[in-house]
A and B are shown apart, each in its own frame.
Chain A
């Protein structure tokens, strides 16, 4: 049985200024909406945020950005957010842009006890500057170090009270790896069911990685509504 928080505010109560947090999602899909809002309300500052994107100007991590609560951002694509670009170009925020696959693998490795790995992505580019390059099978690879976080804030569709998680469609994205790489992982879920009600064969994230649960309805804002 994992703690089930009565509010998002309670769920983020232990997150202090200067914390390193991973936040799940790709674009606005699979982001822990209420946990982000609670961080905005709490006003924690100097955060290092690890997330593929940085929300949009008025939603998701964009809200933390607007309030200048982020000291450093580690992500792969931040093009949806004008305020982000402004803060980077003016030097107000530190940014570490990382190839998306490298970011995913850094987080996976962090959660899996692998301190570093070699990847071809970024060889011959600014991404590889200052990093060890080693040749395998006649091709160059760059050494990339794993990432871990004080807290991982993730979003799933369903949890049982043990903390087993199931994600919906492409809302899975970075959430399962981040669940493994946070010292404390808090899962915001649309529905919590009784332990035993989820088919063990369908579990995406086993409960061992999850330290707390929050049930919260999701707005699920759409960035680019495209229809036939």
Chain B
């Protein structure tokens, strides 16, 4: 399975965390892909922190409006029933606990659910954007990411080494190898995806995993 298919697998699995009627914020990059896989029998409203509730599909060339973008600065459309608002209103929605699910990318996640996804000291300064607000506001925080870094090192760690985005904020991690819940007792391995074994996941995760009721060979 290639990189592209892994991304699709992760996005499809993340979609299962979204319920009918949910208001959902999708982060930039892989999380944005989740929108492509939302089941037709669910009504889901996507929130974009730049001030749009009800993101629609990408526009046709004729529909492109430079004043209508998502938080990733991509041109989008809005669905019937959508609303535009200010950035302050947008984050009132987020901080106020009105968003049901937020799906974000990550550089590192700790066993306590600490998240690092905004800065590599001395190397990369992009800024946190809305991530620090989102992780404290949305009811369910899901991280989707590659299981290991490009150099093969673990991204799921005992402690994050990079500057944090939030402490004890992540509820679930979904990678191309596994779905893992963050519980008060630690990281609980829930699902292992086809092509990987429980041992593969343990070996590529720095933090200890609770292995009790694991579903294997999940497609």
Binding site for B on A (CB under 8 A): 26-30, 52, 75-80, 84-85, 88-89, 95, 97, 99-105, 107-108, 119-127, 157, 167-177, 204, 220-228
Task: Decide: A95 and B90 in contact? CB cutoff 8 A.
Answer: no
A101 contacts which of B68, B72, B114, B130 (Cβ < 8 Å)?
B130
Chain B residues near A124 (CB-CB < 8 A): 114, 164, 166-168
User: B68 touching A227 by the CB < 8 A rule?
Assistant: no
Q: Contacts A104-B91, A124-B166 hold; do A99 and B86 have CB atoms under 8 A apart?
A: no
On whether A127 and B52 interact (CB within 8 A), knowing A79-B126, A88-B125, A97-B127, the answer reads no
Contact B132 A224 (CB under 8 A): no
Binds A, one of B37-45, B59-67, B196-204, B207-215: B59-67
**Contact partner of B136 among A28, A77, A120, CB < 8 A?**
A120
Complex-state Cα separation, A127 to B113, whole angstroms: 18
Once the chains are docked, how many angstroms separate the CA of A117 from the CA of B50? Answer: 22
Beta-carbon nearest neighbor of A119 in chain B = B95
B73 neighbours in A (Cβ, 8 Å): 26-29, 80, 223-224
Q: List 5 A-B contacts (CB under 8 A).
A: A52-B87, A84-B125, A85-B124, A104-B90, A121-B132
CB–CB A170/B127 < 8 A:
no
Q: When the two chains form their complex, are residues A125 and B126 in contact, meaning their CB atoms are under 8 A apart?
A: no
- The answer to whether A76 and B57 touch across the interface, beta carbons within 8 angstroms, is no
- A221-B73 Cα distance, complex, nearest whole Å: 11
Contact A121 B136 (CB under 8 A): yes
Distance from B39 Cβ to chain A, minimum over Cβ atoms (Å): 20
| Per-residue A-contact encoding for B162-186, CB less than 8 Å = 1, 0 else | 0111111000000000000000000
* Other-chain residue from A30, A177, A220 in contact with B88 (beta carbon distance below 8 A): A177
Does B66 lie within 8 Å of A172, measured CB to CB? no
Number of residues of chain B lying within 8 A (CB) of chain A = 51
Residue of B88, B90, B125, B136 touching A123 (CB-CB under 8 A): B136
Kindly state the separation between the CA atoms of A168 and B65 in the bound complex, as whole angstroms. Answer: 10
Task: Select which of A95, A108, A172, A228 is within 8 A of B85 by beta carbon.
Answer: A172
B21 CB–A CB distance under 8 Å = no
Q: Inside 8 A of B131's CB, which chain A residues have their CB?
A: 99
Q: Are A174 and B67 in contact (CB under 8 A)?
A: no
Asked if A101 and B124 sit within 8 Å, CB to CB, the answer is no
Give the top 4 A-B pairs by smallest Cβ distance, nearest first.
A101-B91, A79-B126, A124-B167, A101-B133
Q: Which residues of A contact B75 (CB under 8 A)?
A: 222, 224-227
Within the assembled complex, what's the spacing in Å between the Cα atoms of A122 and B169? 11
Nearest-neighbour CB distance to chain A for B77, whole angstroms, equals 9
* Contact call A170/B84, Cβ cutoff below 8 A: yes
Contact indicator B133/A99 (Cβ below 8 Å):
yes
A170 pairs with B132, CB closer than 8 A: no
